[in-house]
A and B are shown apart, each in its own frame.
Chain A
Amino acid sequence: DQQVKQNSPSLSVQEGRISILNCDYTNSMFDYFLWYKKYPAEGPTFLISISSIKDKNEDGRFTVFLNKSAKHLSLHIVPSQPGDSAVYFCAAWVDSGYALNFGKGTSLLVTP
């Protein structure tokens, strides 16, 4: 049963605009949430994370927002650049667990 859901398989955004990638989860016990970025034929790379006790974390152009009551998080990329075009995976972790739970990914295309 998918505990982490990314309901948008793809997203297209113009360069310079904001990209918003969404993620929903079902397990209220998750302690951490992470975003990974993946290019074709490469492994995912860690992008940004947020603890469940926070509602926002910012790192340069990337900001993750967490709404625990809605069991929803989002990744904002501002401004979007063509190099941001990749698949973005949302992932979640329970401290008592053993591995990350991943969503199915959202493919972001940033057009010039």
Chain B
Amino acid sequence: DGGITQSPKYLFRKEGQNVTLSCEQNLNHDAMYWYRQDPGQGLRLIYYSQIVNDFQKGDIAEGYSVSREKKESFPLTVTSAQKNPTAFYLCASSPDDHTGYNSPLHFGNGTRLTVT
């Protein structure tokens, strides 16, 4: 059963700690993305990767880091430099970087991060 797995579903951390969110896909997709959702804000792009060992900053990359060592995996680290880390984080993938009409994004079920 192909899909995107994000773990854990809920994560709690103390302020000042780094935390890594997992994202694994078995869809054989080249491109992967991290979005953040805040109430009333829609989805905002954090980082994206079009190919293994390459990734680019999105619109709100400050305070985050990623790696793409394997095609299947695109972990996101929320660092202590991120000022408002509490949010719902969504990982997505696409067959290639031409996401659009025929190759829409496939999303995982998200990780709710709460930092206190």
* A34 contacts the other chain (CB 8 A): yes
Most chain A C-beta atoms within 10 Å of own C-beta, residue among B9, B56, B92, B101: B101
User: By the criterion CB–CB under 8 Å, are A49 and B101 in contact?
Assistant: yes
Determine the interface band of chain B, counting residues with CB < 8 A from chain A. Answer: 20 to 34
In the complex the two chains form, what is the Cα distance from A49 to B104 in whole Å? Answer: 9
Which of B12-20, B68-76, B79-87, B106-114 is the contact stretch? B106-114
User: By the criterion CB–CB under 8 Å, are B40 and A100 in contact?
Assistant: no
Per-residue B-contact encoding for A68-112, CB less than 8 Å = 1, 0 else: 000000000000000000000100010100111011110000000
- Chain A residue numbers with a CB within 8 Å of B98 are 95
Q: In the complex where A98-B56, A105-B42 touch, is A93 in contact with B100 (Cβ < 8 A)? A: yes
In the complex the two chains form, what is the Cα distance from A93 to B92 in whole Å? Answer: 15
* B64 contacts the other chain (CB 8 A): no
User: By the criterion CB–CB under 8 Å, are A95 and B104 in contact?
Assistant: no
Q: What are 10 A-B interface contacts by the 8 Å CB criterion?
A: A32-B101, A36-B104, A36-B105, A44-B90, A89-B42, A89-B43, A98-B48, A98-B56, A100-B105, A104-B40
- 3 smallest beta-carbon distances between A and B, as pairs: A43-B107, A32-B100, A104-B42
Instruction: Enumerate chain B interface residues (CB-CB to A < 8 A).
Output: 4, 6, 9, 33, 35, 40-45, 48, 50, 56, 58, 90, 92, 97-101, 104-110, 112
